[in-house]
Amino acid sequence: MASETSNCEQVFACTRCGDCCRGYGGTYLSEADIASIAEHISVDPETFVSDYCTPSGSRMLLKQGPDGYCIFWDTLCTIHPVKPRMCRQWPYLKSVLVDETNWRSMASMCPGIRTEAPMERVRACIEAFIAAAADRDGEP
């Protein structure tokens, strides 16, 4: 699987601009995300939720600072090894498999997305990354 995902630079190469860490509705957290980030920053999960999260319906979002950036953004992601699944998966999203026009829409927000890449290749990369995430996280 690694060989399939490692050949995706022609599809996406992050410029580290940080735009995806600001605004756009925030970053949702799974229970696994909460546990791993809390452990990484050496707080218990309850403290992490109260100090670093904000509720959105039945789910938790990472708080944002006054500048609109994620609370863990500081010219780069300060929790990179344990960043939420939502951050790890970008831009390899199922929604692009459902509607390929989403790839171009996402590119308008993310300069790392290569719109000139053949959509066949984009689809193959998305499928490979989703499969790798399911292997790693044990979730579909």
The footprint of ligand SF4 (CB under 6 A) covers 14-21, 27, 62, 70, 72-73, 77, 79, 83-84, 87, 90, 110-112
Smallest gap from residue 4 Cβ to ligand SF4 (A): 20
Residues 6+ apart with CB under 8 A from 48: 34, 37, 38, 41
Q: How many helices (H) and strands (E) does the chain have?
A: 7, 3
Smallest gap from residue 39 Cβ to ligand SF4 (A): 15
Q: In what order do the strands lie in the sheet with 28-29?
A: 28-29, 59-62, 53-56
Smallest gap from residue 131 Cβ to ligand SF4 (A): 20
- When the beta carbons of 53 and 128 are compared against ligand SF4, the nearer one is 53
- When the beta carbons of 23 and 118 are compared against ligand SF4, the nearer one is 23
